[in-house]
Amino acid sequence: MKNKDNNVRSGQFLIRHASLRQIQIFEAVARHLSFTKAANELFLTQPTVSAQVKNFSESINMPLYEQIGRNIFLTDIGEHVATTCRSIIDELANLEMLLDDLQGMTRGRLRIAVVSTAKYFTPIALGHFIKKHPDIDVSLKITNRERLIQRIHQNLDDLYILGQVPSSHLDLEVVPFAINPLVVIANCNNPLVGKKISLEQLTQEPFIMREEGSGIRSTVEALFSENNLTINERMIVDTNEAMKHCVVGDLGIAVVSRLSLYLEGENSPIKELEVEGFPIHKQWNIVYPKGKQLSLLSQEFLSFLKKSGTEYIKV
């Protein structure tokens, strides 16, 4: 009974001493790991941000961050508090959107994060969606798969779009919505262009590969491993555009999403090879953490992608 009373008193203490503005400010600092960037985002002075975070930390009565030189590092408690602050802000945003919806208005904030290959269709889909909802605020984060998974852990966004779903340690809602064909590409002057090629023949070609943790890389490695073949890896790059430029430079062949080639014309220096076992048909997925309360706007964008998303994927 005593512990229960202590918990109640603790909760009442935070309600009395931690303001919503402090919660908003600390969440911004935790997200940017910078007082200056948080101040710029919230149109406040840096001293104001520092003072509010200091007061908020004193309300929690535990260290939320460490500052070494100009760098800020969240403590474990700080990570937990930042996640809770994010949830509070999201709930208030949901309430605001619900009230707007009841008044016949569609406003709010939509935060989308996608893997780099999804940049070839997500902005187009978002453009069409915003035409229907011109008063919403949108943020689009394009990053690699490893950083996207970190963002899911930190609950930084509303929805995430990627190909290969993360391993089971993340409890996610997964909504498949489009096919993602992976193909082999080469320089237009490569002798293999126009021929039917076995997977074994590819072992003689130098490969341009994506970084460790990439969904495309793990797919290619799994295919070669299943066939007891070794990849002749020449170099590693961390974006699709870098891979394509390496192929243009005749540094080797590469496996990319066919989606990344849709702007290439007939005279492109890049050609798709006809290879045994390709294209590999992977899936585009929309994911979000299980139990996450999606905002009305997020639910509407999710429905929009499920219904019309394939219209913006040119393969």
Cite the residue boundaries of each domain of the chain with CATH code 3.40.190.10: 106-178+283-312, 179-282
Strand partners, 161: 114, 286
What local confidence, expressed as pLDDT, does residue 2 receive?
45
The alpha carbon dihedral of 103, 25, 148, 76 has a sign of negative
List CB contacts of 177: < 8 A, sequence separation 6 or more: 284, 285, 286, 305, 306, 309, 310
What local confidence, expressed as pLDDT, does residue 314 receive?
65
DSSP H or E segment with residue 96: helix 76-102
CATH number for the region 106-178+283-312 comes to 3.40.190.10
Residue 82: burial class (beta carbons within 10 Å; 0-12, 13-18, 19+):
buried
* Fold that domain 2-84 belongs to in CATH: Arc Repressor Mutant, subunit A (1.10.10)
- The ranges of the chain with pLDDT < 70 are 1-17, 100-107, 168-169, 314-315
- CA-based nearest residue to 166, from 65, 74, 288: 288
CATH number for the region 179-282 comes to 3.40.190.10
3-state helix, strand, coil in the chain (%, to 5): 50, 25, 30
* Helices and strands, counts by H and E, the chain: 11, 13
Q: pLDDT tens-digit profile of 136-163?
A: 889 999 998 888 988 988 888 999 999 8
Q: Which amino acid is it at 30?
A: A
What local confidence, expressed as pLDDT, does residue 13 receive?
61
What local confidence, expressed as pLDDT, does residue 5 receive?
47
CA 295 – CA 286 distance, rounded (Å):
15
Q: What are the distances in angstroms from CA 146 to CA 70, 110, 151, 162, 222?
A: 26, 22, 9, 11, 18
Neighbouring C-beta atoms of residue 287, cutoff 10 Å: 20
Do 95 and 107 form a contact (C-beta atoms < 8 A)? Answer: no
Tokens 């990627």 found at: 162
Cite the residue boundaries of each domain of the chain with CATH code 1.10.10.10: 2-84
Neighbouring C-beta atoms of residue 314, cutoff 10 Å: 12
Do 97 and 294 form a contact (C-beta atoms < 8 A)? Answer: no
